[in-house]
C-alpha cells in the first residue's frame, strides 16, 4: 500500500485525490490517509503531492514508520474524499514543518 505521512498534516493540499483511480483517500480535519485495503499501489499520487507526503509502505522514512498503522486505523472511520478542494488556510505556513503529528497530539 501507499501511506500519507507527516508532511500532509495542517496542509491537506488534496492534489492526490484527483488522480487516485480507486478513491482510497479518506479525509480528517488536519490531513488525509490512504485505505490500505483499497490502494492498488499505482503510485500516481506520489508526484502530485506538493509536500511529498506520500510514500510506498516499503519506502517510508524510518521516522514516519508509525504512519502505516495510523493510515489503516483512521481510514476505517474517516470519510472518503473524491474531489480536490482548497488546502487548509495555514498550509503555506506549515508546509515545511516536521513532526507535525506531535504538535497535533499535544
- Cβ at position 11, least distance to ligand F3S in Å: 4
Minimum Å gap between C-beta 1 and ligand F3S is 14
CB of residue 48 vs ligand F3S: minimum separation in angstroms? 6
Q: How far is CA 48 from the centre of its chain?
A: 12
Instruction: Kindly list the residues in this chain that would bind ligand F3S in the complex (CB under 6 A).
Output: 4, 8, 11-16, 31-32, 48-49, 51, 53-54
Beta strands in 1-106 (DSSP E): 2-4, 25-27, 32-34, 54-56
For residue 4, count CB atoms less than 10 angstroms from its CB and return exposed for 0-12, middle for 13-18, buried for 19 or more: buried
Is the CB of 54 or the CB of 106 nearer to ligand F3S?
A: 54
Amino acid at each position: 500500500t501507499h501511506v500519507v505521512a507527516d508532511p500532509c498534516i495542517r496542509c491537506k493540499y488534496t492534489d492526490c485525490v484527483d488522480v487516485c483511480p480507486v478513491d482510497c483517500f479518506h479525509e480528517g480535519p488536519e490531513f488525509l490517509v490512504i485505505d490500505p485495503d483499497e490502494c492498488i499501489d499505482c503510485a500516481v499520487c506520489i508526484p502530485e503531492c506538493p509536500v511529498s507526503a506520500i510514500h510506498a509502505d516499503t519506502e517510508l522514512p524510518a521516522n514516519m514508520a508509525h504512519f502505516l498503522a495510523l493510515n489503516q486505523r483512521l481510514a476505517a472511520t474517516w470519510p472518503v474524499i473524491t474531489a480536490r478542494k482548497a488546502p487548509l488556510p495555514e498550509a503555506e505556513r506549515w508546509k515545511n514543518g516536521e513532526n507535525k503529528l506531535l504538535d497535533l497530539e499535544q
